[in-house]
Amino acid sequence: MEKVKKLWNHTLTYVSVRTIYYLAILILLVLLYGFHDMNAGPFIYTEF
């Protein structure tokens, strides 16, 4: 258990785990909402 605490307190491990966590959230959001068009999103205001 002491080795796990020591490894978790290591900066590189902490940054790596957080990076993977946030990257997974970003990928999940992209997969959930998808790509409509990478250049432009859906146009909302069509009647002016």
In a domain? residue 19: yes
Q: For residue 41, is it within any domain?
A: no
32 against 27, higher pLDDT? 27
Question: Does the residue 24 lie in any domain?
Answer: yes
Estimate to the nearest angstrom the gap between the alpha carbon of 26 and the chain centroid: 3
In a domain, 6, yes or no: yes
> Using CA atoms, how far apart are residues 46 and 34, in angstroms rounded to an integer?
22
Residue 37 lies in a domain: no
User: What total of structural domains would you count in the chain?
Assistant: 1
Residue bearing tokens 């959230």? 25
The mean predicted confidence, pLDDT, of the chain is: 79
Task: Kindly report, residue by residue over 11-26, the tens digit of the pLDDT.
Answer: 888 889 899 999 999 9
- For residue 34, the SS3 value is coil
